[in-house]
Amino acid sequence: MAEKIKLTVPNEEKNITLIRMATSFIASQMDFDIEAIEDLRVCVSEACNIQLGTSEKLRLTLEDKTDALEIHVEKKKSLDVEEGMNRELAASIMEILMDEVKIDNEGVHLIKYLRVNDHGETQG
């Protein structure tokens, strides 16, 4: 059964720690391995950093899809040139660590699939 958690926090850098902790908790409950959890933490930080200071609130949705964790960080404004360069670096990092990454007019969408190895153990 899919569960959806929505977080809305003041759009300040210090709150990214809270978002990283929530992401880690959900991923660990889904049985992602330590490496996958760290990948998720890094990527959710990058997704949030893109939106720092762009609005009063930072809005994030984490959805447990049983076989995947989907994360959406809502976009609030268009980015200027310098922010665009930071976004490109963040996008490169996320694309390396996540299974799916989409950055569009609605925000940043991330998906990490939960995998099962040959021994029936889950892996991120």
pLDDT for the residue numbered 121: 55
When the pLDDT of each residue in the chain is averaged and rounded to a whole number, the result is 86
What distance in Å separates the CA atoms of residue 58 and residue 15, rounded to the nearest whole number?
9
* Residue 88 exposure: Cα atoms within 13 Å on the Cβ side: 5
How far apart (Å, rounded) are the C-alpha atoms in residues 2 and 121? 20
Query: Each residue of 40-76: pLDDT tens digit?
Result: 999 999 999 888 877 789 999 999 998 999 999 998 6
pLDDT value of position 81: 45
